[in-house]
Structure 1
Amino acid sequence: MIKRIFWTFVIVITLSATVFAEVFQYVGEDFDWAILSPKEKTERVDKIYKIMFPDGAITNYTRKEFKTQFKTHLKDKDSKIHYDAMVAGYKDYKNVKLEPYYYKNTGCIYMYALQYKNDLTKTYYYSVLGNLKFVDIRYGDLINCPCYIKKYGIDGKLKRSAYIQSKDIIYTYTGKGKFEGVQYKSTMYTH
């Protein structure tokens, strides 16, 4: 009887391991978060934090510093033109890339992102009326990965940061530097 239970257990474990291995082979070699130990996860989170914040400090601007640095972008002077271009379906318009954000229920644009083609290190987020809401500053390899992004609010405070390992794997942190999770495609994983 004990032998039968033992062999049943071995077979179940073997089959489970095979299925588990196939799932992670499908997910891809780069995404190993689910199989890391808690200690390994913490080490990775800390390593990425040190890459994004080398001196260990979160950099915030004062409101005045922020408005001085981004004063030419506080208002999108072409907001009406950009809005019309987005409604017409344009993603590129003249010297900018456009990305609209829609309300789910109504399908109306509530905010849009604007990135100048001559400066891909910054993305500006505006309300529909053309008032600046956020700025993303991108560091690292601008074309490939890895790189990281810091999102600042109009008050100059860091709102969120993200380390982009690849187009599918993103580690996200709060504005205070607390780890939120790792996103693989459209799924978020936490500790």
Structure 2
Amino acid sequence: MSESKIREEIVLLGKSMYDRGLTHGGTGNISVRLDDGWLLTPTGSSLGRLDPGRLSKLDWDGRHISGDKPSKEAMLHLAMYEERPTSGAVVHLHSTHSVAVSVLDGLDPDDLLPAITAYYAMRVGKLPLVPYYAPGDPDLAKAVRSFSGKHHAMLLAHHGPVVAGSDLNAAVDATEELEATAQLFLLIFQHKFKTLTPEQIAELQRRFPQR
């Protein structure tokens, strides 16, 4: 896909997530790998009102090449790409239900959400909690790096999800599945409920490898 088409896709999917309430105001950011660097949504930009020509372009040293000033979370995205060389895109949102899960006490920080549905097991899998750091803090990128070698999806405490995928559609799909499962979990977590068995999860992962 050409760079111009990728820029259009970022704008299209960013607006789709914004219009459906998955992000708000100037929160969240999207990045996509290119042959000669990577694109990132600019700092302070609304995902509902992106301009394809003003997206930030960076090189693999994190240097700003063109477009508007990049998001302060640029190093978080770069950490994901460096630890996951097969990932083609990264989505970071401040989605309401996922953030709510990130502040609940008593959950397993190594695996926050149970496998309530097959699609969560297929698209997200094990979801660790990244300890809290202020947005843009270099230590946040270091913490993300420490998880991203084993996990393509994680939840930043008091902040929101970070999800990598083989391409932008895969990253968005997994992010949306995480948010839907977080919402479902908040509806039922005070009640007894059943999850998929380890055997069922293993079969799903075998038949539907994460993209």
Structure 2 length-normalised TM? 0.26
Larger RCO (CA within 8 A; separation ≥ 6): 2
Larger Rg: 1
Q: Which has the higher strand share?
A: 1
Structure 1 length-normalised TM? 0.28
